[in-house]
């Protein structure tokens, strides 16, 4: 039984949304979504006001998702220009460097000027509305400027996390046919340099990437890199020559804003495409309600801009709301594990949003590093990315928040654009480990294996039965894959890929992915991606990858590898293969365990039985279940005997 953390009277008193408002507005939002979202849509500045609001169908043969379709707006103008009159001198971005001695405050006026210059710069380089731009940058202010400049001219950005390998970067550039890449000489994280420009040089030698005409390079560390004329240009040199006047391009609400690649259960990562109007309405409204935003808040989301959290809740949501958002270049344990709390005190952070994996890692260091800082400014805490175990939740609440700050456990996905299930801090009592109740306009349901909707307390697969404005519109270049992945399993419903339980109070408890996706430290990885990296090695015949429990990361990566005939297994080869995957995909895909498998458990039709491999990786060989359909049951005993976690 979990402890209930009721909304405190003190928090409820001044909050934006109380219990009564939540009940009333939620009812309106699902009974009359058109009038609800018509009203909420007015929070933005529209160049041409919309007359239409919701126009959506989840039926596979008539799938369409359109919001505010005849409206026109510009996202960057909503994040910048409209704040200038009242908030020109307000800090838009607080930048905290990797090194604690480095930080900067950038006002809305300054950010606006830089974005206008960058918009002119991109235009002068031949980037036009609809062109794709890859952004492979560290957590520096130029990243925000680059993204907003794309939005301002109507170019579609695709941000690639700086931890991805040259191959992963190349795959994304090739799939979206980018015209321009924006990168930095090097990144800096935890005192270590990340060779971004070198990675770009390598990526652009891969097939399919010759759409790239220009590489813009931001100078971050001054490290030695090769500039290749005429392709490579210095950002600062070109920015200097631009004017700070620029008229934002009027975009249709359904024009694409960005593509973000994410892993699925099969094949290559897919390009999740988000559009402009509905997305900005949805993320700005969720950001305001979920974090109970006030004018003088200092908001800090620790996610990297390379993930959707960085798009929606580090940059676009907060800036659309005229908030002060903190961008942190570094890592939680550099120079020591008190860093997060030192930054909280230094910049008087009031709203703090991070991932369960970070909380678990810091929890292991004990309370002292937290207590070294006062944290008196904090008034609300949030988590995202994976289920949070109740122990970590209670520690976050008691130690970090001194028992004073509500916690919002926000469930959502790259595909959903914004938060779908979450407590509203002044309205919804919290239960540690539960994302609680749906946001306005969101209609979750739990279905059984046959797609029947289950009522009351139930456990099954999580679906969403109707559209919300912030959801993805397609898989870039592959609309069929969009339909097949999300709308075929349960016809007429959006399938999340997550399992969930709903308790007697209607609260949702996300139990994790039910497909072949693993969640490592809040980052999604397809087991198929890791497997194809492994079999690309000349000595590997076959590989199967599953998730395994991991104290800090939530899930770790457990790989079973069959070597080609005549290749002897060795510790050196194991190391080599682990390093190989790291190099092929990026450090986040580094296998935690790699077990030699003389044979893999397969059905007579040749399908690998992952259920069995998962149980072995979980060190639960007594739960293997029915193995009678195996082609060769003897392979299992060997894998059980040689398992790496006992």
Residues of the shown chain interacting with ligand WT7 in the complex, contacts defined by CB under 6 A: 262, 307-309, 384-387, 409-414, 435, 496-498, 510, 512-513, 519, 522, 524
Task: State the Cα angle at 434 between 433 and 438, rounded to 5°.
Answer: 155
- 411 labelled as ligand-binding? yes
- 540 labelled as ligand-binding? yes
Task: Tell me the angle at which helices 277-290 and 33-41 cross, rounded to the nearest 10 degrees.
Answer: 90
- 537 labelled as ligand-binding? yes
- 501 labelled as ligand-binding? no
Nearer to ligand WT7, 154 or 317 (CB): 317
- 637 labelled as ligand-binding? no
CB of 143 to ligand WT7, least distance (A): 18
- 413 labelled as ligand-binding? yes
Nearest Cα neighbor of 109 from 127, 126, 134, 92 is 92
Paired residues of 192 in beta bridges: 189
Structure tokens at 438: 């749906």
CB of 641 to ligand WT7, least distance (A): 33
- 409 labelled as ligand-binding? yes
Nearer to ligand WT7, 384 or 471 (CB): 384
- 272 labelled as ligand-binding? no
CB of 120 to ligand WT7, least distance (A): 33
Contact present, 531 and 543 (Cβ < 8 Å): yes
CB of 71 to ligand WT7, least distance (A): 26
Query: Residue 487, preceding bond cis, omega within 30 degrees?
Result: no
Nearer to ligand WT7, 413 or 474 (CB): 413
Residue 371 to residue 77: CA distance in whole angstroms: 41
Nearer to ligand WT7, 324 or 461 (CB): 461
In this structure, what DSSP letter does residue 257 have?
Answer: E
Contact present, 476 and 171 (Cβ < 8 Å): no
Paired residues of 299 in beta bridges: 325, 351
Direct distance between the N- and C-terminal alpha carbons of the chain, in angstroms, rounded to an integer: 29
Contact present, 21 and 15 (Cβ < 8 Å): no
Residue 626 to residue 140: CA distance in whole angstroms: 53
CB of 257 to ligand WT7, least distance (A): 17
- 521 labelled as ligand-binding? yes
- 41 labelled as ligand-binding? no
Residue 531 to residue 14: CA distance in whole angstroms: 52
- 524 labelled as ligand-binding? yes
CB of 459 to ligand WT7, least distance (A): 15
564: alpha, beta or left, given left = phi > 0 and alpha = psi -120 to 50? beta
* Nearest residue (beta carbon) to ligand WT7: 414
CB of 414 to ligand WT7, least distance (A): 3
- 309 labelled as ligand-binding? yes
Q: How far is CA 300 from the centre of its chain?
A: 15
Helices (H), 241-276: none
CB of 217 to ligand WT7, least distance (A): 28
Nearer to ligand WT7, 290 or 563 (CB): 290
CB of 498 to ligand WT7, least distance (A): 5
- 513 labelled as ligand-binding? yes
CB of 59 to ligand WT7, least distance (A): 23
Nearer to ligand WT7, 175 or 409 (CB): 409
How many residues are given for the chain? 646
**Residue with tokens 């080599």, as numbered in its chain:** 576
Residue 369 to residue 348: CA distance in whole angstroms: 17
- 567 labelled as ligand-binding? no
For residues 362, 365, 369, 371, the Cα torsion angle rounded to the nearest 10 degrees is 90
Nearer to ligand WT7, 188 or 427 (CB): 427
Nearest Cα neighbor of 133 from 153, 162, 155 is 155
Contact present, 37 and 56 (Cβ < 8 Å): no
Tell me how far CA of residue 282 lies from CA of 89, 248, 420, in angstroms: 26, 21, 10
CB of 438 to ligand WT7, least distance (A): 13
- 190 labelled as ligand-binding? yes
Helices (H), 372-475: 390-395
E-strand spans in 540-587?
Answer: 540-550, 554-563
Nearest Cα neighbor of 448 from 489, 387, 507, 487 is 489
Nearer to ligand WT7, 74 or 312 (CB): 312
Nearest Cα neighbor of 476 from 618, 644, 268, 317 is 268
Nearer to ligand WT7, 235 or 307 (CB): 307
- 410 labelled as ligand-binding? yes
Nearer to ligand WT7, 106 or 471 (CB): 471
Nearer to ligand WT7, 293 or 421 (CB): 421
Q: Is 143 helix (H, G, I), strand (E, B) or coil?
A: helix
CA 163, 169, 175, 176 torsion-angle sign: positive
CB of 565 to ligand WT7, least distance (A): 38
CB of 462 to ligand WT7, least distance (A): 8
Q: Is 362 helix (H, G, I), strand (E, B) or coil?
A: helix
Nearer to ligand WT7, 283 or 577 (CB): 283
Nearer to ligand WT7, 116 or 472 (CB): 472
Cite the annotated binding site for ATP by residue number: 385-387, 409-414, 498, 513, 524
Cite the annotated binding site for CoA by residue number: 189-192, 309, 333, 521, 582
Cite the annotated binding site by residue number: 189-192, 309, 333, 385-387, 409-414, 498, 513, 521, 524, 535, 537, 540, 582
Cite the annotated binding site for Mg(2+) by residue number: 535, 537, 540
């Amino acid at each position: 039984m979990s402890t209930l953390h009721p909304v405190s009277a003190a928090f409820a008193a001044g909050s934006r949304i109380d219990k009564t408002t939540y009940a009333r507005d939620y009812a309106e939002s699902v009974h009359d979504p058109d009038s609800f979202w018509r009203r909420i849509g007015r929070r933005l500045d529209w160049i041409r006001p919309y007359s239409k609001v919701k126009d959506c169908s989840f039926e596979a043969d008539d799938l369409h998702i359109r919001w505010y379709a005849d409206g026109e707006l510009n996202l960057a103008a909503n994040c910048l220009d409209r704040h200038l009159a009242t908030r020109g001198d307000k800090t838009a971005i607080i930048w905290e460097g990797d090194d604690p001695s480095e930080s900067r405050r950038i006002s809305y006026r300054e950010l606006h000027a830089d974005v206008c210059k960058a918009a002119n710069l991109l235009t002068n380089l031949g980037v036009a509305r609809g062109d794709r731009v890859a952004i492979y940058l560290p957590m520096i202010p130029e990243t925000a400027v680059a993204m907003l400049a794309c939005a301002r001219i109507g170019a579609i950005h695709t941000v690639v996390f700086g931890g991805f390998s040259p191959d992963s970067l190349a795959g994304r550039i090739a799939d979206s046919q980018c015209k321009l890449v924006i990168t930095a000489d090097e990144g800096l994280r935890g005192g270590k340099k990340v060779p971004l420009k070198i990675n770009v040089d390598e990526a652009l030698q891969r097939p399919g990437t010759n759409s790239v005409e220009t590489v813009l390079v931001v100078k971050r560390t001054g490290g030695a890199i090769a500039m290749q004329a005429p392709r490579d240009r210095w950002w600062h040199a070109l920015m200097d020559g631009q004017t700070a006047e620029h008229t934002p391009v009027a975009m249709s609400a359904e024009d694409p804003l960005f593509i973000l690649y994410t892993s699925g259960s099969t094949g290559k990562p897919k390009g999740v495409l988000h559009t402009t109007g509905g997305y900005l309405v949805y993320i700005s409204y969720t950001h305001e309600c979920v974090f109970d935003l006030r004018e003088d808040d200092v908001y800090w989301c620790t996610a990297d801009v390379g993930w959707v959290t960085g798009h929606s809740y580090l940059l676009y949501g907060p800036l659309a709301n005229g908030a002060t958002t903190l961008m942190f270049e570094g890592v939680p344990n550099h120079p020591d594990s008190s860093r997060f709390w030192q930054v909280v005190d230094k910049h008087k952070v009031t709203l703090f949003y991070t991932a369960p994996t970070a909380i678990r890692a810091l929890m292991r260091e004990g309370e002292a590093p937290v207590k070294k800082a006062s944290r008196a400014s904090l008034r609300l805490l949030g988590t995202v990315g994976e289920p949070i175990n109740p122990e970590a939740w209670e520690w976050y609440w008691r130690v970090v928040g001194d028992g004073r700050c509500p916690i919002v456990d926000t469930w959502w996905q790259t595909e959903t654009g914004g938060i779908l299930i979450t407590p509203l801090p002044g309205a919804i009592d919290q239960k540690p480990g539960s994302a609680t109740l749906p946001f306005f306009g969101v209609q979750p349901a739990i279905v059984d294996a046959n797609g029947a909707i289950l009522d009351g307390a139930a456990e099954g697969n999580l679906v969403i039965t109707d559209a919300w404005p912030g959801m993805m519109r397609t898989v870039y270049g592959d609309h069929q894959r969009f339909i097949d992945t999300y709308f075929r399993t349960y016809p007429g419903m959006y399938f999340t890929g997550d399992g969930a339980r709903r308790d007697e109070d209607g609260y949702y408890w996300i139990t994790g992915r039910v497909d072949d996706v693993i969640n490592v430290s809040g980052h999604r990885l397809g087991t198929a991606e890791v497997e194809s990296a492994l079999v690309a090695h000349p000595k590997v015949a076959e590989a199967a990858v599953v998730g395994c429990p991991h104290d800090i990361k939530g899930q770790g990566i457990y790989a079973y590898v069959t070597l080609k005939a005549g290749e002897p297994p060795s510790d050196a080869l194991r190391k080599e293969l682990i390093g190989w995957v790291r190099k092929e995909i990026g450090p986040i895909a580094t296998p935690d365990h790699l077990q030699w498998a003389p044979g893999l458990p397969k059905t007579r039709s040749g399908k690998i039985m992952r259920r069995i491999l998962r149980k072995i990786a979980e060190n639960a060989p007594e739960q293997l279940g029915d193995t009678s359909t195996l082609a060769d049951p003897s392979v299992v005993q060997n894998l059980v005997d040689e398992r790496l976690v006992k």
